[in-house]
Amino acid sequence: MPQSTLLRQLQGFSLTTAEILYRLPDYPQLLQSYIWQDYDVAPEFPKLVDLLGGQSRWAALPSACCPPEAHRATRI
11-27: average pLDDT: 91
| pLDDT on residue 71 | 45
Number of folded domains that form the chain:
1
Closest CA to 73 of 29, 21, 5: 21
State the pTM of this model. 0.60
Residue 48 inside a domain? The answer is yes
| pLDDT on residue 70 | 46
Residue 47 inside a domain? The answer is yes
**Left (φ > 0), alpha (ψ -120 to 50) or beta: where does 8 sit?**
alpha
| pLDDT on residue 58 | 54
Domain hosting residue 62, numbered range: 5-70
Residue 76 inside a domain? The answer is no
